[in-house]
Amino acid sequence: MTDKTVSFDTATGLAPAIVQDSTTGQVLMLGYVNEESIRLTQKTGYVHFWSRSRQEIWKKGETSGNTLQVVSISLDCDNDTLLFQVRPDGPICHLDTTTCFDLGKDLDVVNREPISFEQLAALWKIISARAVELPKGSYTVRLLSEGVDATGRKLVEEATEVLLAARDHRDGGNPDRVHEEVADLLYHLLVVLAERGLNPAGSMSILRKRSS
């Protein structure tokens, strides 16, 4: 994509840009871009916006350090709105939250169901933080300290538990047990990645390629 393909607003020379976490799919924020900010974004690999209040280009995270590393840039069907898929480094909102869209402030929504896969991103942040901070008494830290063979064995155990729970459910057992065992499996899967120093974004990237 080049900035010449974008249909900017004729009055302002700007176009809205939606920012989405490339790993979780969570919408993080909305900003505005012009030709120059798009050029800088493509050149540097980090999102730049046009500030309507300050009337200048700004790099997201230039002050806070919470940058947005670009994975892909897409245009909508009318060529007047951009989608930045990114890898965020830290909280995105100025209120120090992951997203600028406060999920507690939904309008006209009753009995809102949580976006389940967002919890995996939150869990990964906890596990990766444990790997760095190494707090005493942490089960995650103990697993990580035992190395890949131990974490791998635990992963195999949990996978077996999922199979047994699924078979039990087939025979009339409680579905809650299946969910519980899958939750344990997902946790230990992320621990294996953390022990190897790998980010689940790599796996998500492969899934994305396979689904395209």
Residue-wise pLDDT for 139-165, tens only, equals: 999 999 999 999 999 999 999 999 999
Q: Between 164 and 90, name the one with better pLDDT.
A: 164
Distance (Å, whole) CA 129 – CA 135: 9
Q: Look at residue 90 and tell me whether its pLDDT is greater than 60.
A: yes
55 near 75, Cβ under 8 Å?
no
Domains, the chain: 3-88 (3.10.20.810), 118-211 (1.10.287.1080)
Model-level pTM? Answer: 0.56
| Helix-strand-coil split of the chain, %, nearest 5 | 45, 20, 40
Output the furthest CA–CA distance in the chain (Å, rounded).
65
Which residue shows structure tokens 């998500």?
Answer: 204
Nearest-10 Cα torsion for 150, 151, 154, 158: -170
Q: Write out the H or E segment, with its range, that includes residue 49.
A: strand 48-51
CA distance 18 to 32: 9
